[in-house]
Amino acid sequence: AQSVSQHNHHVILSEAASLELGCNYSYGGTVNLFWYVQYPGQHLQLLLKYFSGDPLVKGIKGFEAEFIKSKFSFNLRKPSVQWSDTAEYFCAVTVNTGGFKTIFGAGTRLFVKA
Amino acid sequence: DTAVSQTPKYLVTQMGNDKSIKCEQNLGHDTMYWYKQDSKKFLKIMFSYNNKELIINETVPNRFSPKSPDKAHLNLHINSLELGDSAVYFCASRGQGNQPQHFGDGTRLSIL
Q: What span, in angstroms and rounded, lies between the C-alpha atoms of B43 and B54?
A: 20
Which residues of chain A have a CB within 8 Å of the CB of B31?
Answer: 100
Please choose, from the candidates A3, A94, A4, the residue with its C-alpha nearest in 3D space to the C-alpha of residue A46: A94
Chain A contact present for B59, CB below 8 A = no
Q: Which residues of chain A have pLDDT under 70?
A: none
Q: What is the pLDDT of residues B18-40, one digit of tens each?
A: 999 999 999 999 999 999 998 88
In the prediction, which pLDDT does A102 show?
Answer: 87
Residue B1 has pLDDT above 70, yes or no: no
CA distances to A36, A49, A88, B13, B92 from A45, in Å: 5, 11, 11, 29, 11
Chain B contact present for A43, CB below 8 A = yes
In the prediction, which pLDDT does B56 show?
Answer: 73
